[in-house]
Every structure is written in C-alpha cells, then in structure tokens.
A = this chain, B = another copy of it.
Amino acid sequence: MKYNAIVGQSGGPTAAINATLSGVIRGCRESGKVETLYGMYNGIEGALKENFCSLFDVIDSEEKHRLLEGTPSSALGSCRKKLPKTDDPEAKATYEKLFNVFEKYNIKYFFYIGGNDSMDTVAKISAYAKENNKEIFAIGVPKTIDNDLMGTDHTPGFGSAAKYIAATVAETARDSAVYDLKSVVIFEIMGRDAGWLTASAALPSLNSSAAPDFIYLPERAFDEDKFIADIKSKLEVKNTVLVAVSEGIKNADGKYISASERSEMKDAFGHAYLSGTGKALEMVVRDKIGCKVRSIELNVLQRCASHIASETDINESVAIGRFAGLKCTEGESGKLAVFVRSDSEEYSVTYDLKDVALIANKIKKVPDEYINDEGNNVTKACLEYILPLIMGENKIEYVNGIPAQIEIKPYK
C-alpha cells in the first residue's frame, strides 16, 4: 500500500541542500512506496500552514533533477523555528496540529534536511510519534557548510563551501600580492563554533599556491598579542601576509573578537549575532602595525556558490538523500543519515543511519591533531581529511552566461 511523504529544508542554506532534496525525491520514487511527495515551504512552518507542492510533479525529468542539484540555497525555503519540547504542556497544540496535518494528507514519511537544530525537530517528531502511537517515520538528512554535526564523517554542503573558500583564497592571494609593499589580508570565514571552513583556506598550499600564513580557529582562544607578533615576524620575510579567521573566534575570557559583540544581538536560537571579526582585526593591525591592511568577509557567497560546487559533495548529497528516502520508506525512524569514510587509502564513503537524538544539538569541533602546536595553522592531516571532499567540479548549465536555476513554487 502506498502512503504519502513530506520533505522540508531548514536552517541556513547551502550549495548542496537542493542536491539532497533531489536525492530524497529520487529515493522516494525508487522505493515505489510513496504516492505523493509533498514539499513543505519554510520548513516545519510550511507543514503547520499546509503550504505544499507536489515534488514528483515539479521534478519530473532527469533534466530537472540536474537543474535542482545545481541550484543553490533551499528551493523549498527555510525556517529557524524550533519545535517545543514534547513534554512541554503548551506544546500539545502544536504537535496535535502537525500530526493532524499528517493525517489529513495521509503522510507516513517525514524528511527534514538540515543541521543541528533541524535534527532536534526530527528527534521530537519521532519521539512524539512513538509516545502517541502515530505511524510516522521521521528521518533527518544532514546539511551544513559548517561540518559540525556529530556522527557523520562530514556533512553535505561542506565540500562545496570548502572548495569555494580554497579557490577564492588562492585567487585573492594573487590579487593581494601585486604591489611591492608590505600588506596584510584577513579573510573572515563562517564558523561560529567550529573551524572547519576556516581550515579549508589552507588547501591552496597543496598546489604551492599562496595560502594563509596564519589560521585562527574558534577551537583555540585568540590572543591578540600573539596575532600581532605572528604577523610582524612574517612581514620581515615576505611582503603580503595572509590570515584566515573564523567569525567565531573568542579571546581567553570567552569574548567574541567581532566588532559587533557589544550589541549583544542574538538570533532566534539565542546564538550571539556575529559580524565583523575581520573588520575588527583589520583595525587592530592598522593600529599596531600600520601597514596596508584589508579584510575580506566571504559572507553568504561561501554557502551558495553553486557555480564552483564540489562534484564529490553534490554527488554525495544526492546519494545520502536517496539513501534516506529508501530507508525511511523501509520503516526507519528517528535516525540521521550519515557518511562513513572507508579506511582504505583511496577515498570512498558508505551510508548509514544513527540515532538522531544522540546527534542533535551537539557540535563536532576540529580535533587537536588537525591544529598545529602554536594554534595558528592547521596540520597536514587536516588537509588530507578535507581534500577529497572538494574534488571535481559539478557541471552546471549556463543560460545567458549565468548559472541556470530552477524555482519550485507552492500550490498557493
């Protein structure tokens, strides 16, 4: 007997999150167990509002699958809504509404593509279903450029962001070194709690291209005096010193370096709102060294540059979505689909499921062996870990000289 399924995207978008969506569509179709696959708009908010489309109808050809896989950001929109705790008395109405919608649309399979916070939603839906004897199978599919999810070798979206960062640093390094004068360039790279993306800035060193001389990750307390000493000593032996910093670096007192930390702004999850770490350090260098200095914030471009997406990342993102589609329709629930890297010398991954409750709301940091003793760069082992994830260039179509995209519109 066939049932319906529903899929949503949540959290910050990536260049690969639509590839995973495409994979879920492929998996559900191949399973032969799904009649209609609903796409919910703006994540769980769309489920509550019944703001849907029918994905088998919208993505009905291999060409459209490929177009979706090359379109950045969340085609179904996103949200940052967190479901209340299932034992919260006020939460009852929300869960009842949600499960009424599932019943109304004959939905049995629930897919949520997202990061830490989204896995929390999967855990809660799965738990509520079990507690209330509802036959709803909920599976999480990972997505985050930050690569900070526990339980998986890496996350879909990270490889493409890392490739963009590596290429951009290699190109900008050339741009920064053309004048015969002393200068410092500071790249500010995303990463609130984990330094994976910032570590990727070191990849151009594998090609003997100019790479950052210093890399500061949130895994180490940032020492401004050491930072200035690092740069000063390097400026004695070369003209252009390149630095990469994570937006989330903090000093030994746990205070963000970011210029806007005083504003005490917080996002919907209570995370401190960060901007301007690079700008803050630019001003420190100008004050204490006085040479030419420029900060470059890679900004949202690092998470949506489909035009230079990693082929490995996109292929794996499709595959893990498909895997989730097949497993959920086999009756798995409360799980997160994960990558398992093989131990063999040649890189390969297999796919597995892990209990989502053990993974949600945790953060995988860059381990000690990937950071050098001085805490101002990454090790060779770190680059060896990242390198396979950026390999290959995903082929995309260009129309009028611009990357082609597909748009998925809701019913209403």
Contact = CB atoms under 8 A, between A and B. Distances in A.
Interface of A: 9, 13, 41-42, 45, 71-74, 77-80, 163, 166-168, 170-172, 174-180, 203-204, 206-207, 209, 258-262, 267-269, 271, 273-274, 276, 279-280, 283-284, 287, 294, 296-297, 299-301, 303-308, 310, 387, 390-393, 398-405
Contacts of A174: 13, 71-73, 304, 405
A276 B280 contact: no
How many copies of the chain does the oligomer comprise? 2
A167 B400 CA distance: 10
Contacts of A163: 401-402
A190 to B, nearest CB: 12
Contacts of A80: 179
Contacts of A9: 178
B404 A207 contact: yes
B301 A279 contact: no
24 contacts: A41-B180, A42-B178, A45-B180, A72-B171, A73-B177, A77-B179, A163-B402, A171-B304, A175-B304, A203-B400, A203-B401, A203-B402, A206-B400, A206-B402, A259-B268, A259-B269, A261-B268, A262-B268, A267-B283, A269-B283, A271-B287, A301-B301, A391-B400, A393-B398
Nearest to A284: B269
A202 to B, nearest CB: 11
Nearest to A294: B300
A179 to B, nearest CB: 6
A320 B283 CA distance: 41
Contacts of A401: 163, 166, 203, 310, 387, 390-392
Contacts of A262: 268
Contact of A207 (B268, B310, B405): B405
B307 A403 contact: no
B79 A180 contact: yes
A72 B175 contact: yes
A274 B400 CA distance: 32
Given A79-B180, A166-B402, 5 more contacts: A72-B171, A206-B402, A207-B400, A268-B280, A387-B401
Contacts of A79: 179-180
